[in-house]
Homo-oligomer: A and B are copies of this chain.
Amino acid sequence: MLDDTHDPALRSWVDSANDGATDFPVQNLPFGRFRRAGTEEPYRIGVAIGDQVLDLKMALEQCPWDNFHYRMLEPLAAGNLYHLMSLGPKARHEARAALSNALRHNSVQGPFLELCLVPQARAEMTLPCRINDYTDFYTGIHHAQTVGKLFRPDAPLLPNYKWVPIGYHGRASSIIVSGKGFARPSGQMKGTDGTPVFGACRALDYELELGALIGPANAMGEPVGIEQAEDRLFGMVLLNDWSARDLQAWEYQPLGPFLGKSFATTISPWVVTMDALAPFRKRADRPEGDPQPLPYLDSTENREQGAIDITLEVWLQTPQMKFQGLPAVRLMQSSFLDAYWTLAQLVAHHTSNGCNLSSGDLLGTGTLSGPTPGQGGSLLELTQGGRQPITLPGGEQRTFLLDGDTVTLRGRCARAGFASLGFGECVGQVGA
């Protein structure tokens, strides 16, 4: 639904939001959970605007609101995004409209809200909400094909791929927010003589993904039809599905990935709402000759605007590059348009057996690689299974990640006639 909150002519009284390069113009208005860095104050919900955060706890206290908006802001001020998530699209539209009005140029609330800004550089972000269950899908068909080819050269894509949105349950407890480091995992892997050994992972990788956070829950035993599935989505984040390839290769049969993934998963702190993404919806057509989705995964709306045009990038900076004053290098670029399944299809499939999704549950898209070899969404793909190292500025080579390496994911939406917007950064440093 496009409305005046998407008007590209809108300007904010927060100057930095009007710079076309910002990820957070007044047309975006993503939610995150934060506190002032260095304090022990309770986390509250904020809205990113330019290089600032609007502190909704202060905004509740400092600014005169009518009863309706006061009640809407109260749980957000208390650091609780679930309430807004659980209410569904109408409440989310209303919150967006109120924030858009308050943050646009010449708003009556502007003078009050100026006192409620915190520079993003001084905000300590945390996860936007507690994530109860995390499911990771496998919608990147180019990733599935490239990785499949490494293991099964003759049949890279399994027979179910074009019928079933393949997914698995991920580990929720080790999801961390961008900027938080993690230790290189240890684990069991196949030794050179075939006998397994235990030791530090030697094939540490990232995976470029997006994540969708669930809005209203469905009760157990009550599937969400494809026509209602969009209404169950609250917003999206960037997701780095860190992977220990040597652990994964040895453990994953027959029950799938486990310790090769569960040591850390990083998400970006700002939840870009489905409203902000509305201008970037696109047709989700099947390639010529592919089977059409079964009816429970098919709808006119899904075909006509199930896809979302998000350009994605992976950037890498090594300790040596930093030492030499070299900036991070972009390793690849891809588009969420290349995903084989839409978010609505993931929701409809996930709940088709009666499985209950809760507000704040996270659905990962799987690795979003593009169709060309240079568009691999992981080092596994870019280095052809570790056989072909990539060369970095300064002359270093990498097959997999070394300690101190910093991986940054970025995502951005652009369309003629609309304001561009982005996801901020999803950053993680190995062993930090």
Interface residues of A (CB under 8 A from B): 132-133, 135, 138, 148, 158, 160, 163-164, 166-174, 176, 182-183, 185-188, 196-198, 201, 220-221, 223, 244, 247, 250-260, 262-264, 294-296, 349-350, 352-358, 361
CA separation between A158 and B251, bound complex, in Å?
Answer: 10
Q: How far is the CA of A259 from the CA of B185 in the complex (A)?
A: 29
Question: CA A264 – CA B220 in complex, angstroms?
Answer: 8
Contact at B171–A255, with CB atoms within 8 Å? no
The answer for the CA separation of A167 and B220 in the assembled complex, in Å, is 24
Q: Is the CB of A253 within 8 A of B220?
A: no
Bound Cα distance A132, B263 (Å): 16
List the B side residues contacting A183 at CB < 8 Å: 221, 354
Contacting residues, chain B, for A357 (C-beta < 8 A): 173
Instruction: Give the docked Cα–Cα distance between A352 and B201 (Å).
Output: 11
Q: Please state if B171 and A355 are interface contacts (CB–CB under 8 Å).
A: yes
| Pairs A-B, 8 closest by C-beta atoms | A256-B256, A185-B353, A169-B169, A168-B255, A183-B221, A255-B256, A263-B353, A262-B355
Q: Is B176 a contact partner of A253 (Cβ separation < 8 A)? A: no
Q: Tell me if A187 and B251 are in contact (CB < 8 A).
A: no
CB distance from A91 to the nearest CB of B (A): 22
The reply to whether B182 and A221 form a contact with Cβ atoms under 8 Å apart is yes
A353 is contacted by which of B254, B262, B294 (Cβ under 8 Å)?
A: B262
Q: A133-B172, A133-B173, A186-B223 are in contact. Are A255 and B253 (CB under 8 A)?
A: no
Partner of A354, one of B138, B182, B255: B182
Which one of B171, B252, B294 contacts A188 once the chains associate, using CB atoms below 8 Å?
B294
Separation of A223 and B148 alpha carbons in the complex (Å): 32
Q: How far is the CA of A114 from the CA of B353 in the complex (A)?
A: 46
Contacts beyond the supplied A158-B253, A173-B355, A262-B353: 9 A-B pairs with Cβ under 8 Å: A135-B258, A164-B251, A166-B251, A167-B258, A173-B220, A186-B223, A221-B263, A254-B256, A264-B354
Contact across chains for B220 and A169 when beta carbons are under 8 A apart: no
Inter-chain contacts of A182 with B (CB < 8 A): 220-221, 354
A353 — which chain B residues lie within 8 A by C-beta? 185-187, 201, 244, 247, 259-260, 262-263
The answer to whether A185 and B294 have CB atoms under 8 Å apart is no
Find out whether the CB atom of A173 lies under 8 angstroms from the CB atom of B358.
yes
Residues of B within 8 A of A254 (CB): 148, 158, 166, 252, 256
A218 CB to closest chain B CB, in angstroms?
A: 10
Q: Which residue of B lies closest to A222 (CB)?
A: B183
**In the complex, A354 Cα to B264 Cα: how many Å?**
8
Q: Give the distance in Å from the alpha carbon of A176 to the alpha carbon of B356 in the complex.
A: 12
Partner of A263, one of B148, B252, B295, B354: B354
Complex formed: what's the CA distance from A249 to B106 in Å? 60
Q: What are the residues of chain B within 8 A of A164 when measuring CB–CB?
A: 188, 196, 250-251
In the bound complex, how far is the Cα of B253 from the Cα of A295, in angstroms?
22
Q: A262: nearest residue on chain B (CB-CB)?
A: B355
A169-B170 CB under 8 A given contacts A220-B182, A247-B353, A256-B256: yes
* Contact in complex: A294, B198 (CB < 8 Å): yes
Q: How far is the CB of A105 from chain B (nearest CB, A)?
A: 44
Measured CA separation A313–B172 after assembly (Å): 32
* Residue in chain B with minimal CB distance to A136: B255
Shortest Cβ distance from residue A29 to the other chain B in the assembled complex, whole angstroms: 29
Tell me the complex Cα distance, A258–B294, Å: 18
CB distance from A129 to the nearest CB of B (A): 14
